[in-house]
């Protein structure tokens, strides 16, 4: 059950990053580098979610 809660936490973080990215893109004064960092972090979370999901299916 610990794995399921960890996956849920990662999914929540992923959704939160998506919201942060949307807000940052909509804000005219946000630095492009900040948006790139958020997108990179979101991608890392996505990769981790996929890796863990595959590990739990086997």
Q: pLDDT, tens digit, for every residue of 2-57? A: 888 988 999 999 999 999 999 999 998 889 999 999 999 999 999 999 999 888 87
* Distant-in-sequence, close-in-space partners of 30: CB < 8 Å, separation ≥ 6: 24
Q: Whole domain around residue 47: which residue ranges?
A: 2-57
Q: In which element (H, E) is residue 18 found? A: helix 2-26
**Residue 46 or residue 58, greater confidence:** 46
Number of structural domains the chain divides into: 1
Q: Name the pTM for this structure.
A: 0.84
Contact 22, 11 (CB under 8 A): no
């Amino acid at each position: 059950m610990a794995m399921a809660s960890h996956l849920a936490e990662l999914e929540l973080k992923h959704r939160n990053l998506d919201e942060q990215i949307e807000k940052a893109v909509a804000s005219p004064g946000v630095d492009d580098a900040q948006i790139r960092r958020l997108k990179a972090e979101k991608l890392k979370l996505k990769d981790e979610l996929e890796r863990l999901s595959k590990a739990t299916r086997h």
